[in-house]
Amino acid sequence: MSINRRSFLRNAALAGAAAAFAPHRLFSHPNHYLVNDMKLRFYPYTLELKHTFTIANFSRTTTPDMMVEVEKDGIIGYGEASMPPYLGESQETASAFLGKVDLSKFPDPFQFEEIMPAIDAIAPGNPAAKAAVDIALHDWAGKKMGQPWYRIWGLNPAKTPVTSFTIGIDTEDVVRQKTKEADIYKILKVKLGRDTDKMMIETIRQVTDKPITTDANQGWKNRDEALKMIEWLATKGVVFVEQPMPKEQLDDIAWLHERSPLPLMGDESVQRLADVKKVQGVFDGINIKLMKCTGIREAYKMIILARALGMKVMLGCMTETSCAISAAAQLSPLVDWADLDGAVLIKNDLFDGSTIVDGKVTLNDRPGIGVIKKK
């Protein structure tokens, strides 16, 4: 017997054995591997911020990050977990979580509805680490299909929103300077929640009359004072107020919602899909972030649900490289507002991806999440 014939018989025997376990796979997808050999790699990375970033109760100059890669069939999918320390994840927790992820046990890497719940069930919490895997898998699958995700979802890339540029709590001089630097942006996002709120808004209004969105980051503790501040903001060209009060004070926020002249957007109160229905009637809309909701799969579902409940939607971010920003940008034609300036706030972006052109989120036609790794 020739070697070729022996190897044919051996392969035929293997195929027969495999068919006994999974005949549908063998016959409907003859080119697929019978065993998924997808590899997952990860390494820590520290994002360096261009400016010290201050919100209601925190300041920092770096953001810990974990880069994730999945590889199969010579295609690499990229993902990322950005973990601002106040949210509780770290490079150590992400590393421990990702070490438990075994993608090879899922026979088909396209079956997100099988894979993502299984990854979610590995451990509670860890939303950024889970998002990193979700983003990398979507990048891989989009590249394998040769299409960007906005096309796979049927979205029009011309319908991306403008993105706001974030101005953190700072001194008058710095706020004035940052407002001038935000020249290309059509809308500003101003962090509030301290006793300098009126100074922040008045300083910006000395420089520009652009629309302003505001984010109190749970900083207002008293609902009567919060309402007075919102009424004042409504006279200053403010578009909406994000998370006016602490995330668990939904009754107070609902009270505000009944009286507020401005729309209220939920951020810290709304982490994942299951939270959306809980805040109907409390907020006018929700701020979805991939690092909170475990990735673009769940983010897409949250958008659909929020729309069905008549709510507004914005897409936000942490400080992130263009990897996670480009993943979120794929969804952006579906939302009312974007706050996707995370990659322009850092000095050491590892990726080329979606860009901001004249203040507007701008998608490219690369497959997957649309990124190329630099160097």
136 or 314: whose CB is closer to Mg ion?
314
Pair 239, 260: CB distance under 8 Å: no
Biggest CA pair distance of the chain: 90
Q: How far apart are CA 199 and CA 180, in angstroms?
A: 16
Please name the residues in contact with 254: beta carbons below 8 A apart, sequence gap of 6 or more: 281, 282
128 close to 94: Cβ distance less than 8 angstroms: yes
CB of 114 to Mg ion, least distance (A): 32
Say whether 116 sits in a helix, a strand or coil: helix
**CB 287 to Mg ion: min, Å:** 6
HEC string of 293-339 equals: HCCHHHHHHHHHHHHHCCCEEEEECCCCCHHHHHHHHHHHHHCCEEC
Of 242 and 320, the one with the shorter C-beta distance to Mg ion is: 242
Minimum gap (Å) between residue 148 Cβ and Mg ion: 27
Nearer to Mg ion, 134 or 339 (CB): 339
Tokens of 173: 């001089």
Between 267 and 349, whose beta carbon lies closer to Mg ion? 267
Q: Is the CB of residue 94 less than 8 Å from the CB of residue 294?
A: no
Nearer to Mg ion by Cβ, of 91 and 217: the residue is 217
**Six token digits for residue 320:** 């992130």
Cross-strand partners of 64:
46
Nearer to Mg ion, 139 or 267 (CB): 267
Q: Which two tokens stand for residue 116?
A: 């993502």
170 contributes a contact to Mg ion by CB under 5 A: no
Instruction: Give the C-alpha separation, 43 to 344, whole Å.
Output: 22
Task: Give the one residue of 65, 120, 267, 341 binding Mg ion; rule: CB under 5 A.
Answer: 267
**19: CB partners within 8 A, 6+ apart:** 26, 27
Minimum CB distance to Mg ion, residue 299 (Å): 15
Nearer to Mg ion, 247 or 373 (CB): 247
* Least distance (Å) between residue 362 CB and Mg ion: 23
Q: Give the shortest CB-289-to-Mg ion separation in angstroms.
A: 8
Distance CA 347, CA 48 (A): 6
Of residues 197-226, those binding Mg ion (CB under 5 A):
215
Segment interacting with Mg ion, rule: CB under 5 A, options 42-50, 128-136, 167-175, 263-271? 263-271
User: Which pair of structure tokens corresponds to residue 259?
Assistant: 């009286």
Tell me whether residue 80 or residue 215 sits nearer to Mg ion (CB atom).
Answer: 215
Q: How many residues bind Mg ion (CB under 5 A)?
A: 3
Q: Which is nearer to Mg ion, 155 or 201 (CB)?
A: 201
Per-residue contact track with Mg ion, 227 to 256, x per CB under 5 A? ---------------x--------------
Q: Nearest approach, Cβ of 245 to Mg ion (angstroms)?
A: 13
CA distance 174 to 247: 29
Q: How far is the CB of 256 from Mg ion (least distance, A)?
A: 16
Task: Specify the stretch interacting with Mg ion by CB under 5 A; choose among 12-20, 41-49, 199-207, 266-274.
Answer: 266-274
CA dist 338 and 360 (Å) reads 9
The two tokens of residue 263 are: 């729309």
DSSP state letters, 37-71: --EEEEEEEEEEEEEEEEETTEEEEEEEEEEEEEE
Q: How far is the CB of 267 from Mg ion (least distance, A)?
A: 4
Q: Which residue ranges make up the site for Mg ion (CB under 5 A)?
A: 215, 242, 267
